[in-house]
Structure 1
Amino acid sequence: ASEDEDDDEESVARAQERLLQALMARAARELPRQELERDWDVLGELGSGSYGRVLLAQPRRGGARVALKLLSKERTPRWGFLREFCTHLCLRGALTCLQVLPLAFETPTEFGFAQELAPAGDLCGLLTPGVGLPEPQVKRCAAQVSAALAYLHGHALVHRDLKLDNVLAFDRECHLVKLGDFGLTRVLGWQVRPAPGAAPYAAPELWQVRSGEARLRLEPALDTWAFGVLLFALLTGTFPWASPARSDPAFRRFRAWHRRTCAGRAPPRTWRGLGEAARRLLRGLLRVLGTPQALALQVLPQVGQGVL
């Protein structure tokens, strides 16, 4: 990118961070206390993890069913909760990003906010292991996730945690899917310690630098790499490698093929079921960090042309 483009990106990033800080300050002042059992009719649990839990719930005063995300105060700092909630608020114009109700709250032990319910669950639950999803569904998912990432990147945000579990489906045929879980999302240029995320999705630059050594500048290419891995999983029902490490045989074979494709080298076995156009698209996404990526321009037209 040119110096002018870099300056524009940094200007957008600074403005986005100022907006987030203002929203966080307001949310902190207005954060009400609630009693879960008093204010919500809990109908079941949708998921749980180290972060906390997600409940199927309905306001006792009436209203639609929602996915109630509750974050443990023992594990989640107040500012981390506020940043996740306010990042959601910044994305209310993105139809391909999961939407929240504009009200956060706290209980004695948890922080919480309500987000729209995705009845079909996440893509991980829809996927047939070793098979993937039918081609029409993959095309729909690719277009919508690409649009969500393009919106984030256009607003100087990097998701940092793109994976099957964080793409939510509103129907089993994937006519509507949305990107969710913005707990790790930060402004472009944010300096983070390069600890790896979910191993198969992590870019090699994150994996190869030891946690705690240096700090890495966040770039959209982190999401682009994870998007390539996600598309591979949707197409095949498996991951291309266990981790993007030199010690991983599948990753070594991919990198060797990636470097020698122009010489006509045959693709690794796990890639041979893909069409040439799909392989070319994935190679474009799975490039080293620092390579300029125009995600929406690169993916959306090719999806429309039946590449996948």
Structure 2
Amino acid sequence: GAQVALKLLSKARTPRCRFLREFCTHLCLRGALTCVQVLPLAFETPTEFGFAQELAPAGDLCGLLTPGVGLPEPQVKRCAAQVCSALCYLHGHALVHADLKLDNVLAFDPECHLVKLGDFGLTRVQGAQVRPAPGHAPYAAPELLPRARPRPGEPHLAPPVDTWALGVLLFALLTGCFPWAAPARSDPAFRRFRAWHGRACAEGEGAGPPGRSWRGLAGAGLEMLRGLLHPQAGRRSPPGEVLRYLGGAWR
């Protein structure tokens, strides 16, 4: 039979309800060919919960990435098209992945002809309330970061959260680094990006890139990232918009 990978979650750190939610979410996504598929059978040991999922022989995108270099552009575009397909499926079923990152995109060959989105432990229904993202995570959308003057209630999950993470992921694949440590005003790289984004929206392609790591990106790549990484959640491009840029140069 086909080889599978076992996903094991420690009972000491994972409540049973959280494990079952992740496993059932996987089962609900069995119709999405760009999402990692699982066998309809869960199990437990005295110390762990577990289930079997597809084996990705090439590992995840983080393992394929060359730091400071990235991946070849055709490979990045193949990843982009397939991850966008997975996100469109999720959003079309009123779900938000909420944990899109290099580690959670699995590759079935080193050239990324087949990649799939996995790890649905944080996936929730759109509109679910979440706590502000702690620490400094480059993938976290600005609206999920703790505020100095918090607004009433906790933030609600919506598709733009995934769109932001997609923009960060594609930037990392193209450059081999993250655009910032966290999308916060205390981060100098993010402050430069915010200033560039405002100029680019006003001046178009006349605005220079916001930093050294952005200089290798071509016009189509910059325009695509500008839409995905709009600081205002309501003005971000949807994931499917990336498909319009596949024919242009990203570097």
TM range (shorter): over 0.9
Q: Pick the aligned partner of 1:267 from 203, 206, 209.
A: 209
Specify the alignment match of 1:5 in structure 2. none
Counterpart AA for 2:127:
G
Q: Pick the aligned partner of 1:147 from 71, 82, 85.
A: 85
**Cα displacement (A) at 1:198:** 6.7
Answer yes or no: is the 8 Å Cα contact 2:91–2:159 preserved in 1. yes
Deviations 1:10-31 (A, max 9, x none): xxxxxxxxxxxxxxxxxxxxxx
Specify the alignment match of 1:286 in structure 2. 229
Counterpart AA for 1:93:
G
Structure with higher strand content: 1
Select the structure of larger CA radius of gyration: 1
When normalised by structure 1's length, the TM-score is 0.76
Counterpart AA for 1:273:
G
Deviations 1:114-140 (A, max 9, x none): 000000000000001000000110010
Specify the alignment match of 1:26 in structure 2. none
Aligned residues: 244
Specify the alignment match of 2:163 in structure 1. 224
Counterpart AA for 1:221:
P
| CA distance in structure 2 between the aligned counterparts of 1:185 and 1:238, rounded to whole angstroms | 25
Specify the alignment match of 1:18 in structure 2. none
**Cα displacement (A) at 1:306:** 3.0
Distance 1:212 1:77, change over 3 A: farther
Are 2:185 and 1:246 equivalent residues in the alignment? Answer: yes
Unaligned runs of 5+ in 2: none
Deviations 1:127-182 (A, max 9, x none): 01000000110010000001000000001110010000000000000000000000
| CA distance in structure 2 between the aligned counterparts of 1:88 and 1:145, rounded to whole angstroms | 16
Answer yes or no: is the 8 Å Cα contact 1:161–1:197 preserved in 2. no
Alignment of 1:24-39 (within 5 A): none
Report the more deviating stretch, 287-296 or 92-101: 287-296
Runs of 4+ in structure 1 displaced over 3 angstroms? Answer: 210-214
Deviations 1:247-278 (A, max 9, x none): 11110000000001133331122211100110
Specify the alignment match of 2:100 in structure 1. 162
Counterpart AA for 2:215:
R
Distance 1:270 1:292, change over 3 A: closer
Specify the alignment match of 2:38 in structure 1. 100
Deviations 1:187-230 (A, max 9, x none): 10111112247701111121243799841111000000000000
| CA distance in structure 1 between the aligned counterparts of 2:43 and 2:98, rounded to whole angstroms | 25
Structure with the larger RCO, 1 or 2 (CA within 8 Å, 6+ apart) = 2
Unaligned runs of 5+ in 1: 1-62
Give the superposed CA RMSD: 1.7
Q: Secondary structure at the match of 2:145?
A: helix
Answer yes or no: is the 8 Å Cα contact 1:246–1:252 preserved in 2. yes
Q: Pick the aligned partner of 1:115 from 38, 49, 53.
A: 53
| CA distance in structure 2 between the aligned counterparts of 1:254 and 1:207, rounded to whole angstroms | 17
Answer yes or no: is the 8 Å Cα contact 1:194–1:212 preserved in 2. no
Answer yes or no: is the 8 Å Cα contact 1:195–1:212 preserved in 2. no
Answer yes or no: is the 8 Å Cα contact 1:208–1:245 preserved in 2. no
